[in-house]
Amino acid sequence: MKKIEAIIKPFKLDEVKDALHEIGLQGLTVVEAKGFGRQKGHTELYRGAEYVVDFLPKVKIEVICTDDLVDRAVEAIQQAARTGRIGDGKIFISEIQEVIRIRTGERGEDAV
């Protein structure tokens, strides 16, 4: 199992959510975030105005999925979140050791 964390532009959230739903992913966590990348937030436009602060509003999506779905999920996020302009975001992938569904006590891939 893997955790996919994607930092995206907030207005892309619905498109990314729909794209992930389409490939069969059922769970998703969204966290409001602030951050900066290589441009340190300075030259990036947000809603038409240049942001003067270092931190730009972003959304972080967290999805835990089985290994067989990782490539499709990453592709879906990348396609849906991309505008081609700076600040489109990043995707981080890491290993997940265990998942437990609290209600039933199921573990592992059954619980994802």
Ligand X SMILES: Nc1ncnc2c1ncn2[C@@H]1O[C@H](COP(=O)(O)OP(=O)(O)OP(=O)(O)O)[C@@H](O)[C@H]1O
- Binding residues vs Mg ion (CB under 5 A): 37-39, 86-87
Q: Which of 23, 96, 106, 22 is nearest to 62 (CA)?
A: 96
Q: Count CB neighbours of 68 within 10 A.
A: 8
- Shortest separation between residue 61's beta carbon and ligand X, angstroms: 12
Q: Count CB neighbours of 89 within 10 A.
A: 21
Among 36, 66, 72, 111, binds ligand X (CB under 6 A): 36
Q: Which does 16 bind (CB under 5 to 8 A by kind): ligand X, Mg ion, none?
A: none
- Shortest separation between residue 28's beta carbon and Mg ion, angstroms: 24
Q: Which does 89 bind (CB under 5 to 8 A by kind): ligand X, Mg ion, none?
A: ligand X
Among 19, 20, 73, 87, binds ligand X (CB under 6 A): 87
- Residue whose CB is less far from ligand X, 36 or 66: 36
22/77 Cα distance (integer angstroms): 11
Give the contacts of 87 (CB within 8 A, at least 6 positions apart).
9, 37, 39, 44, 56
Q: Could you tell me which stretch among 10-18, 64-72, 88-96, 104-112 binds ligand X (CB under 6 A)?
A: 88-96
Contacts with ligand X in 53-72 (CB under 6 A)?
56, 58
Beta-bridge mates of residue 57: 34
